[in-house]
Structure 1
């Protein structure tokens, strides 16, 4: 009898408390990192622990004076600047996920952030049949509350180079992001014969980087007179910005650069990801090497050879690099443009040939040296030429005709700009309308909007709690037509509704009235076909583009347009996008510049009716407004904060306890 009591006690005490453990697992040796085979599928599980952290912590010991200390577990040197960051598993970038097409992915996200709800978006994964796993807080799920966990579960059916990132607040700006690569079996990989190696260590994430926590910069920019111009950049979370003086060696030193090793004479596939934060297109090049670009956003196209490419926030490009130069070290250069040009933000990594005796390239460093001449893919705010190749000129190698019929079922014109309209979330009260403030342009925050509407999420996710949302919260340009939104601030759940299986055309226009900027637009749940793109002038208008379209002067490529999920819209120009709306759900389309998306530069694409969308998972978390009504508790199912992992553990505990009791009583 006593032995069974001991067993019962062990059942209680050996159930692991996943919330009490942290992890620094990088999953480089995960069983799902393998050579992919046709119809060989695995279930790939990961634990992501999100927490507040800091660069150059005590774990860094004497970094950068002893450079080996910079590579200690838990040490994040970044660019040498000391600042607060947000991390997954105490890594920057967070752990990379490398799986094979068809694998089932499970990610247990444990939120240990201080005061943050969170979600993780799997950027490039279309979530067919699993829209609840898309990770958009207050659209597809409730944000994961602090101290709780949430399990994402979906199939990796979208091959290519993707990435994951936080999708609530400014999480990805401060460090919550990482690579997500879905490889294919060799016989299914269109470009397999173009390279010798496709190594996980040749995955590269580039991004602009702030010198302080993003919330500080966001509040300063929106509430005071602070700027929004990045000063630094990172390549795979590393780089050199702050200069240290080493008195022992009597020289200046920096934190280390990322290094990519190659063997002379071999061809390497590099998978390049932009986690761009602000208005910072990045020109990427490798000294003395040509980039053979073969894919974008996971979609293969006819290869193009260029000296450099521009990569915008949220985009991904796969390039093949032939290591055909003399054995040595060469700079990989990332040069910031637009707002990054203001403070000459740049970063460099090293392409190092095996056997080299020179660890650091001899050529000079600096922002100006990243302006590589020659042919360029994906120009920033330029018309196409022989030397400037827009993505609309790329030839798709996996063409389909589903979205390419001559006349679409639904067509929407979406005009974007920084509108001269005060956002009442920031400007309220007489102190903001005095002549001394209004006259000074630098005190006025222009509102980045689509069709003069700022998107605002409701208190309930439409996908999982549609019936809780008052219908007058949904709006679009037609329903707001009587409200003079071009004169007064309009905010609502900006929604475009289409029927299931519609062919939908989106003509997205950047009117360019104020700044020479750009807006990289990302669509969740779909790859769109880029059937048209042009810059008309320094600025344009919705009416001008509509007139040109009515006159048949917007050129559409119906032959083999490239598939993408993120595309920049030329300032003073337009892009024309097509989708076949066969993935029901509520899907977010938004500018991937953090400060723009966070204050409303987005729109919701509702595909189908709620009853046509996949059923939500059992015990899916609920959230929303609450106030005391004086009514008696009704015993309903819906906790406002359901921790799905805890439900699993409680259920397992219950089964084990009952089993032990049955044995005991027997």
Structure 2
């Protein structure tokens, strides 16, 4: 009898443990948001696994183009390479909900490499749900291989956001997707400017490597190999790898993404950058100017432009007026900085209703994406009549609380690539920086000459488990401009402080940029400028003391990700009203992975939210002896079990007790 009970129970576990690989294209929460409508609970099941481009699921793609759209087929840009997918999709399933909905995501880690993972909900403040921010070793332990974790949070702040892996470089290999939080049109200040806000007009752009990112990461940092992307993707698709045909001598490619519109209608497009490396992206639509209306989920006064730049982690919403002739038009993404080395670009198609299903007639080369006219968000250039920095945008939100003249806390944070012999990539005795070839030297991206190290336990839930000497302090940051400094880099502010941060890119080593993302808050961009090809912390401090940095404290735009001009500064203000430990970091994957970030502690430990019941724990361990033998215990319910499923561990408990009584 007990054996039969065990088999039945095991069968139930297998059934419940396997998630359907759904694309959620018709999820009930994907709806029009109405005034007074009750919020919904929106449940998604995510299965994360290693996968590959053009698997057997793709049959004869791209020779039979319809095969490229089969379930589980990831065509990407045609380059065969390992990837990480959610539900065997690239990008992963889009989450499209209404403001104040409850989002529940059950993540099942099935990566055979046995690596942990977490999912960050980029742009969502997580007020009241701090433990669900999804930052490995800051707000939670990694979801270990073959285990599940349930994220549960309120979609509290509206706008265009996205979700992505936040452990290692997993988002660079495909672990990402859109997260759109809509609001009723009556609360959208731009709703009168467009006719349609459709889920299919969400666009994710990013640079793309031709191999697993960890291969490129290790080769670049340890051996000086190339880290320059050669390709890009738009919504996981694009043309890059050539496929010759023997019968016609033609070259074919994997398909482009297509966005459909109807003539004389106005459409809201939502653009997300999952940028991987130092690769700002210029976005434009042939023969169409566009109206920019929001960034990082926050509306601003409309600005008409010919193109805009988007940096890693940023989002921009624009309105496209389909007032041109019925035809096909190129949507262009052109990579700059590191992407310019190999002319990385990608195209998508804007297709008017009743146009032929063919490619646009215009050129498709890299230089054709260099659009003239007015541009929003220039890369490392001063503002001008044709170049509009985001600091010139005026928000439609009133938020005077943290716009006081003198902030409660003020920090200067300088960043650059520094010539430091760090013991991870340059051994000072065996292969110091000065002894290797110039092309193999690694210049270290740091904030205030410090590399942030990952805590051994999440400070939000296990602060007491972290060795105190691992935090940055006088004992390990005495001479960081000359010696490698690595520690848990925390800056502390009080709850409800008005905080100002002057972010400085000294710009000595390279003409690069660092898009900085703050978790748990948005901030006001009150000033931004490029001073010269390079600058210094001391120069910016002196300029500030002399009153040469003019701040907009009246209507500054609110964002959560912003670039810092190389050889210049960006000044941000935020209201520290969300207690917790919040990561602030460069959103270039290679930079944050080696410590270009810090943690903002908002509030005292006794003001932090308590972790959910049975929240997973992790950390350092060493052998101290064996435990005393105990009676068999009933297991506690794991992460992700709800009240309705508590009968499962109860049934297991009965089995364990009965079995141990008769057979042990």
TM-score, normalization by structure 1 = 0.94
Shift of residue 7 of structure 1? 11
1:142 corresponding residue in structure 2:
141
2:410 corresponding residue in structure 1:
411
Assess, with a 3 A threshold, how the Cα gap between structure 1 residues 657 and 430 changes in structure 2: closer, same or farther: closer
1:342 corresponding residue in structure 2:
341
- Mind listing any 5+ residue stretches in structure 2 that lack a counterpart? 656-664
Q: Deviations over 1:329-362 (max 9, x none)?
A: 0000000000000000000000000101252101
Aligned mate of 1:517, from 512, 519, 524 = 512
Q: Deviations over 1:501-537 (max 9, x none)?
A: 1110000000000100000000000000000000000
Name the CA distance, whole Å, in 2 between partners of 1:435 and 1:159. Answer: 50
The DSSP-based 3-state class of the residue aligned with 2:540 is helix
1:178 corresponding residue in structure 2:
177
Assess, with a 3 A threshold, how the Cα gap between structure 1 residues 569 and 254 changes in structure 2: closer, same or farther: same
Name the CA distance, whole Å, in 2 between partners of 1:165 and 1:272. Answer: 15
More deviation, 423-432/196-205: 423-432
Name the CA distance, whole Å, in 1 between partners of 2:650 and 2:184. Answer: 41
Name the CA distance, whole Å, in 1 between partners of 2:108 and 2:357. Answer: 43
**1:238-257 alignment to 2 at 5 Å?**
238-257=237-256
1:450 corresponding residue in structure 2:
447
1:190 corresponding residue in structure 2:
189
- Mind listing any 5+ residue stretches in structure 1 that lack a counterpart? 661-666
The DSSP-based 3-state class of the residue aligned with 1:52 is strand
Assess, with a 3 A threshold, how the Cα gap between structure 1 residues 20 and 42 changes in structure 2: closer, same or farther: closer
Assess, with a 3 A threshold, how the Cα gap between structure 1 residues 658 and 431 changes in structure 2: closer, same or farther: closer
2:32 corresponding residue in structure 1:
35
User: Does structure 1 conserve the Cα–Cα contact (< 8 Å) formed by 2:330 and 2:348?
Assistant: yes
1:354 corresponding residue in structure 2:
353
Assess, with a 3 A threshold, how the Cα gap between structure 1 residues 649 and 53 changes in structure 2: closer, same or farther: farther
1:663 corresponding residue in structure 2:
none
User: Does structure 2 conserve the Cα–Cα contact (< 8 Å) formed by 1:92 and 1:175?
Assistant: yes
Aligned mate of 1:625, from 608, 615, 620 = 620
2:211 corresponding residue in structure 1:
212
User: Does structure 2 conserve the Cα–Cα contact (< 8 Å) formed by 1:36 and 1:185?
Assistant: yes
User: Does structure 1 conserve the Cα–Cα contact (< 8 Å) formed by 2:326 and 2:353?
Assistant: yes
The DSSP-based 3-state class of the residue aligned with 2:400 is coil
Name the CA distance, whole Å, in 2 between partners of 1:639 and 1:589. Answer: 41
Aligned pair 1:276/2:275, yes or no? Answer: yes
The DSSP-based 3-state class of the residue aligned with 1:463 is helix
**1:383-462 alignment to 2 at 5 Å?**
383-428=382-427, 430-433=429-432, 436-437=435-436, 440-462=437-459
Aligned pair 1:486/2:481, yes or no? Answer: yes
Name the CA distance, whole Å, in 2 between partners of 1:400 and 1:459. Answer: 37
Name the CA distance, whole Å, in 2 between partners of 1:18 and 1:399. Answer: 51
The DSSP-based 3-state class of the residue aligned with 1:369 is helix
Assess, with a 3 A threshold, how the Cα gap between structure 1 residues 634 and 608 changes in structure 2: closer, same or farther: farther
2:469 corresponding residue in structure 1:
472
Assess, with a 3 A threshold, how the Cα gap between structure 1 residues 19 and 521 changes in structure 2: closer, same or farther: farther
**1:299-310 alignment to 2 at 5 Å?**
299-310=298-309
User: Does structure 2 conserve the Cα–Cα contact (< 8 Å) formed by 1:621 and 1:642?
Assistant: no
The DSSP-based 3-state class of the residue aligned with 1:154 is strand
The DSSP-based 3-state class of the residue aligned with 2:401 is coil
Aligned pair 1:570/2:565, yes or no? Answer: yes
Shift of residue 559 of structure 1? 1.0
Name the CA distance, whole Å, in 2 between partners of 1:234 and 1:642. Answer: 41
Aligned pair 1:101/2:99, yes or no? Answer: yes
The DSSP-based 3-state class of the residue aligned with 2:361 is coil
1:503 corresponding residue in structure 2:
498
1:260 corresponding residue in structure 2:
259
The DSSP-based 3-state class of the residue aligned with 1:162 is strand
2:660 corresponding residue in structure 1:
none
1:559 corresponding residue in structure 2:
554
Name the CA distance, whole Å, in 2 between partners of 1:175 and 1:186. Answer: 32
1:85 corresponding residue in structure 2:
83
Q: How many equivalent pairs are there? A: 654
Name the CA distance, whole Å, in 2 between partners of 1:222 and 1:366. Answer: 31
Name the CA distance, whole Å, in 1 between partners of 2:117 and 2:332. Answer: 33
2:589 corresponding residue in structure 1:
594
Shift of residue 659 of structure 1? 11
User: Does structure 2 conserve the Cα–Cα contact (< 8 Å) formed by 1:11 and 1:653?
Assistant: no
What's the Cα RMSD here? 2.5
Shift of residue 431 of structure 1? 2.6
Shift of residue 402 of structure 1? 1.3
Name the CA distance, whole Å, in 1 between partners of 2:461 and 2:323. Answer: 54
Assess, with a 3 A threshold, how the Cα gap between structure 1 residues 524 and 200 changes in structure 2: closer, same or farther: same
Name the CA distance, whole Å, in 1 between partners of 2:530 and 2:540. Answer: 11
1:21 corresponding residue in structure 2:
18
Assess, with a 3 A threshold, how the Cα gap between structure 1 residues 641 and 601 changes in structure 2: closer, same or farther: farther
Q: Deviations over 1:95-123 (max 9, x none)?
A: 00000000000000000012210000000
1:127 corresponding residue in structure 2:
126
Assess, with a 3 A threshold, how the Cα gap between structure 1 residues 263 and 494 changes in structure 2: closer, same or farther: same
User: Does structure 2 conserve the Cα–Cα contact (< 8 Å) formed by 1:622 and 1:641?
Assistant: no
Name the CA distance, whole Å, in 2 between partners of 1:43 and 1:210. Answer: 37
Q: Deviations over 1:431-470 (max 9, x none)?
A: 3039652xx2212111100000000012111001001112
User: Does structure 1 conserve the Cα–Cα contact (< 8 Å) formed by 2:224 and 2:442?
Assistant: no
Shift of residue 189 of structure 1? 1.4
The DSSP-based 3-state class of the residue aligned with 1:517 is coil
Shift of residue 472 of structure 1? 2.3
Shift of residue 11 of structure 1? 6.8
Aligned mate of 2:9, from 12, 16, 31 = 12
Name the CA distance, whole Å, in 1 between partners of 2:330 and 2:254. Answer: 16
TM-score, normalization by structure 2 = 0.95
Name the CA distance, whole Å, in 2 between partners of 1:633 and 1:607. Answer: 41
Name the CA distance, whole Å, in 1 between partners of 2:649 and 2:382. Answer: 65
Shift of residue 300 of structure 1? 0.1
Name the CA distance, whole Å, in 2 between partners of 1:587 and 1:294. Answer: 28
Name the CA distance, whole Å, in 2 between partners of 1:163 and 1:301. Answer: 20
Aligned mate of 1:51, from 39, 49, 52 = 49
Name the CA distance, whole Å, in 2 between partners of 1:86 and 1:434. Answer: 34
User: Does structure 2 conserve the Cα–Cα contact (< 8 Å) formed by 1:24 and 1:73?
Assistant: no
